[in-house]
Amino acid sequence: MEIDLINTGYFKLDGGAMFGVVPKSLWQRTNPADEHNLCSWAMRSLVIKESNRVILVDNGLGNKQSEKFFHHYFLHGEDSLQKGLHNLDIIEDEVTDMMLTHLHFDHCGGGIKYEGENLVPTFKNAKYWSNEAHWAWATEPNSREKASFLSENILPMQNSGHLNFIPLNDQSNMPFEILFVDGHTDKQMLPKIKYKGHTLVFVADLLPSVGHIPLPYVMGYDTRPLLTMDEKADFLNDAADNNYVLVFQHDPVNECCTVKHTEKGVRLDQSFSFSEL
């Protein structure tokens, strides 16, 4: 197995929304905001080569949305999904599997593109993987998440015949374990991968950044924040006990870290780049 980490770009979100009830005087120590109270966030994707498969985990925001949309989210930087793949000498048609941790627009928007006036899969030879529970959650959205589940990002997966589901009790479709968590959104999927003597977990929106490691630091976007805290506690204790490498999707600075037990609970141990593994 060969794994790479690519950045599909940066975008901005309100710092208060990203840290919920935590005061700005605390969260700005790790994630400083601009004059509009917005913080920059990365959108990283895993690229996994295994046998004859090229598996992409999440694909960023994409570029097909309106000017008004991008005015709200401020896509910026030189990185993009296409550039990241091309730097690995991978063309879109070589991707065999597109696994989506969940279907919020910053995780799946790059998987669908315009071809003329039609919306089609960016990766025409790939199976697109979600799970039935989350698909139902995304296609019949609650009012809290409705703005994050965009039909133009989601429905073309099904309409094109590319959509597949990973059963909750059978993960044999992927060459790694999947952790299911429900606090942020229903049945978010986190890859847990054995690699180079390490256990990697792509933590997606369970832990957006190093700044979210303390238990009360929970996003205002989470649908079940108390459940997120319980899931974080269980996961972080397990990660500290077993020296997991946490791979961050959204931290604008830190790609990876380990955690340790302290008198204040589980805290950051070491942070490092993915290339240092």
Q: Which residues pair with 177 in a beta bridge?
A: 192
> What pLDDT, on the 0 to 100 scale, is given for residue 67?
87
| Average pLDDT of span 7-11 | 96
| Average pLDDT of span 91-106 | 97
Are the C-beta atoms of residues 139 and 152 closer than 8 Å to each other? no
Quick: pLDDT tens for 184-236: 999 999 999 999 999 999 999 999 999 999 999 999 999 999 999 999 999 99
| Average pLDDT of span 145-165 | 96
> What pLDDT, on the 0 to 100 scale, is given for residue 274?
97
pLDDT at 11 over 90: yes
> What pLDDT, on the 0 to 100 scale, is given for residue 68?
87
- Could you report how far apart the first and last alpha carbons of the chain are, in Å? 14
> What pLDDT, on the 0 to 100 scale, is given for residue 32?
95
Question: Looking at per-residue confidence, does 71 or 13 come out higher?
Answer: 13
d(CA 124, CA 121): 6
pLDDT at 79 over 90: yes
d(CA 20, CA 77): 26
Question: Looking at per-residue confidence, does 122 or 170 come out higher?
Answer: 122
> What pLDDT, on the 0 to 100 scale, is given for residue 16?
96
> What pLDDT, on the 0 to 100 scale, is given for residue 194?
97
pLDDT at 142 over 90: yes
**Cα R_g (the chain), whole angstroms:** 18
Quick: pLDDT tens for 246-257: 999 999 999 999
129-138, 167-176, 182-191: the lowest-pLDDT one: 167-176
d(CA 185, CA 102): 8
Q: How far is CA 30 from the centre of its chain?
A: 19
> What pLDDT, on the 0 to 100 scale, is given for residue 71?
86
> What pLDDT, on the 0 to 100 scale, is given for residue 171?
86
The Cβ of residue 78 has, within 10 Å, a number of other Cβ atoms equal to: 8
Give 260-267 contacts, CB < 8 A, sequence gap 24+.
261/237, 264/214, 265/214, 265/215, 265/236, 266/213, 266/236, 266/237, 266/239, 266/240, 267/213, 267/214
Q: Where exactly are the structural domains of the chain?
A: 2-276
**Distant-in-sequence, close-in-space partners of 112: CB < 8 Å, separation ≥ 6:** 62, 64, 119, 120, 121, 122, 152, 153, 156, 157
**Distant-in-sequence, close-in-space partners of 211: CB < 8 Å, separation ≥ 6:** 19, 27, 29, 30, 31, 217, 251
Percent of the chain clearing pLDDT 90 (strictly above): 96
Name, of 69-73, 168-172, 191-195, the range with top average pLDDT: 191-195
> What pLDDT, on the 0 to 100 scale, is given for residue 216?
95
> What pLDDT, on the 0 to 100 scale, is given for residue 165?
98
**Whether the model pTM is above 0.85:** yes
- DSSP-based helix, strand, coil % in the chain, nearest 5: 25, 30, 40
> What pLDDT, on the 0 to 100 scale, is given for residue 48?
98
Q: Among 46, 13, 60, 53, which Cα is nearest to 190's?
A: 46
**DSSP class of 149:** S
**DSSP class of 224:** S
> Which strand (E) or helix (H) includes residue 11?
strand 2-14
Note the CATH number of domain 2-276: 3.60.15.10
